[in-house]
Amino acid sequence: MSFKVHVIHDLMYGFNEPTEFADLNLPDVDLVIFNGNIGLNSKRTMLYATELTKKYPKVQFVLNFGWYEMYLGYMPKTPYEFEDGMTTRIQNSDDWPKNLHWKDPRSKEGLTIMLQTGQTIQVWPSFGFPKVRPTPKWKDLWFYLNICTGVLGRDKPEELTEISKELSFKLYSEYPQWATPEWVNKIFATEETNIRNFEIDEKHYKILVTHLNPYKDPRLEGIVATQWNIHIEKCLWVTTNQEKSINFLGGHLYSNPGRGAIARGKVLEVDNI
């Protein structure tokens, strides 16, 4: 028995930009996956997700944030500040769509979703950090230039004194802390363990969702990266930055970038037998 999937990502809607008519009209599908960069910030993405979930109440939606939602212009003051905010909103909001599913990255469990076809599937959404090799050129590469992991000097003012020694000016307030190879690899190791446990659970058909493309993501140019040691045989792997589907680590690697009627008309039929 099969079910139909539609993937949405990289729409890049501005904060006050209205949603195009074509992007509000979905094909006949059972599952929609938002895979990041829907809007230029998380509030715009949530607006679009809410528009669609309310218009199509029988369709199930998976929400996986991307770089624009989680990292662009955002400096977390505490670990998992963004995720704590999402959890609080879901738990305390009366209008959170019942058909919109989001996974806290700290959770060791994937999403278990029942579709309108009566089928139950399992989905693992992830940003998709790979294992990276340290390099002297690290500060010129995408992770360091684009992923803020926290701030220095918030609770320890002496940290600002040390940083100021490397700068041409003196710091008086918090300073962003950028991703290091150690930080990236720590997330990778935890996620690899969780996904390997997820892939051997034989209860339902599985879908893996990663915002970063594990095959050829242009953002990772110059970075020597290793992907998870997994083999998701005959499963769907939804990603970004890819025009044509390929087989990758046993799975079907698929993306559907962009706005408009052409992108919104694409449907992937998945046979879960």
Q: Please give the Cα distance from 235 to 198 (Å, whole number).
A: 12
Sketch out the chain's domains with CATH numbers.
2-271 (3.60.21)
**Residues facing 2 on adjacent strands:** 271
**Run of H or E residues at 49:** helix 42-55
58: tokens are 């029988």
The predicted pLDDT at position 245 comes to: 93
The predicted pLDDT at position 273 comes to: 53
Confidence check: pLDDT of 267 > 70: yes
Q: What region, left, alpha or beta, does residue 192 occupy, with left being phi > 0 and alpha being psi -120 to 50 degrees?
A: alpha
pLDDT in tens, 54-88: 999 999 999 999 999 999 988 888 889 999 999 99
pTM (2 decimals)? 0.93
pLDDT in tens, 14-34: 999 999 999 999 999 999 999
The predicted pLDDT at position 1 comes to: 84
The predicted pLDDT at position 165 comes to: 76
Which band of pLDDT confidence, cut at 50, 70 and 90, is reported for residue 178?
A: very high
Percent of the chain surpassing pLDDT 70: 98
